């Protein structure tokens, strides 16, 4: 119960900091919107092509925004040795990992209600409210899949030189199953699912989440012991 309490306190702390500062949130949201705009410029004024690629563009915007959000999440903890303070409090490393991963997931999840309507407008996608709810649900699974290894790698790379290069280099190849699963699933929601494939892609996302949320939680203790 103590661990759960610590996780809740850490998530609350991160969200409160985010609410008070708002800079990280605003910059990540703007970055996501700019990415969506760039995709439409790259494809050109071809509505059919934009509609076909809409799911992929949305997930890529999430993926690219996630590196900004993840790397920032540990930068704050290094200011004034906040991380050492947390560990001396003492906060268990497992609680620290799940607290950070959960707040990163929530933060990335909040991008969905903002970026999805932007994509709907830019790519001329027709979507009902029920579909939007489904897209947000799938986005949540994808955000959880990105946050689990992303939080672990962000902790490792946060103090290294060239962190901006290393984090995507480690994270992107690992999360290809998340990208494939979420693109296919969101595409099926947007364009229709006559072969009933949505369930299997959702299961792939959920399976990835279960594996990495368990594995990274165990491994984070060793990362912290060596001094993040």
Partner 1 sequence: MKRLRWDAILGLLGVLLLLVGSYIGLFLAPPDRHMGEVQRLMYVHVPTAWISMLVLTAAFVFAIASIWTGKPKWDAAMTGATEVGVVFGALLTAQGMIWAKPTWGVWWDWDVRLTTTLIMVVLYAGILVLRSFVDDPERRATWSAVAVIVGYVDVPLVYFCVRWWRSLHQIQSSPETVASSMVVPLRINSFAILFIAIWCIAQRARLEMARRRGESVALPPKRAPRTAEIPGTPQGVDNV
The dihedral through the CA atoms of 49, 59, 175, 203 has a sign that is negative
**Minimal distance in Å, beta carbon 127 to partner 1?**
27
Contacting partner 1 within 122-151 (CB under 8 A): 149
Residues near 139 by beta carbon (within 8 Å), at least 6 away in sequence: 58, 62, 108, 109, 111, 112, 116, 182, 186
Q: Helix or strand or coil: residue 228?
A: coil
Chain centroid to CA 135: how far? 14
User: Which of 76, 174, 198, 206 contacts partner 1 by CB under 8 A?
Assistant: 174
**Minimal distance in Å, beta carbon 162 to partner 1?**
6
Stretch that binds partner 1, among 2-10, 115-123, 137-145, 153-161 (CB under 8 A): 153-161
Q: Which two tokens stand for residue 225?
A: 């012991």
**Minimal distance in Å, beta carbon 117 to partner 1?**
30
User: Which of 166, 191, 193, 206 contacts partner 1 by CB under 8 A?
Assistant: 166
219 part of the interface to partner 1, by CB under 8 A: yes
Q: Are 183 and 136 in contact (CB under 8 A)?
A: no
79 part of the interface to partner 1, by CB under 8 A: no
Number of residues binding to partner 1, judged by CB under 8 A: 25
Q: To which residue do tokens 């962190």 refer? A: 163
Burial of 52 (0-12, 13-18, 19+ CB in 10 A): middle
- Pick the closer one to partner 1 by CB: 142 or 156: 156
157 part of the interface to partner 1, by CB under 8 A: yes
Q: Are 11 and 96 in contact (CB under 8 A)?
A: no
Contacting positions for partner 1 (CB under 8 A)? 149, 152-153, 156-157, 160-162, 166, 169-170, 173-174, 176-177, 211-212, 215-216, 219, 222-223, 225-227
């Amino acid at each position: 119960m103590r661990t759960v309490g610590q996780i809740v306190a850490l998530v609350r702390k991160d969200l409160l900091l985010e609410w008070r500062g708002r800079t990280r949130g605003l910059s990540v949201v703007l970055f996501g919107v700019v990415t969506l705009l760039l995709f439409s410029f790259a494809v050109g004024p071809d509505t059919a092509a934009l509609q076909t690629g809409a799911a992929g563009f949305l997930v890529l915007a999430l993926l690219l925004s996630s590196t900004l959000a993840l790397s920032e999440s540990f930068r704050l903890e290094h200011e004034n040795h906040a991380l050492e303070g947390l560990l001396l409090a003492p906060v268990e490393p497992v609680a620290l990992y799940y607290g950070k991963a959960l707040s990163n997931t929530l933060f990335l999840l909040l991008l969905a209600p903002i970026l999805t309507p932007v994509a709907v407008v830019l790519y001329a996608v027709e979507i009902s409210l029920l579909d939007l709810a489904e897209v947000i649900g799938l986005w949540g699974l994808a955000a959880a899949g990105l946050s689990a290894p992303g939080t672990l790698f962000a902790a490792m790379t946060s103090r290294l030189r060239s962190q901006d290069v290393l984090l995507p280099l480690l994270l992107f190849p690992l999360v290809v199953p998340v990208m494939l699963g979420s693109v296919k699933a969101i595409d099926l929601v947007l364009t229709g699912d006559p072969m009933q494939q949505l369930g299997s892609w959702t299961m792939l996302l959920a399976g990835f989440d279960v594996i990495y949320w368990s594995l990274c939680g165990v491994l984070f203790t060793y990362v912290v012991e060596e001094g993040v």
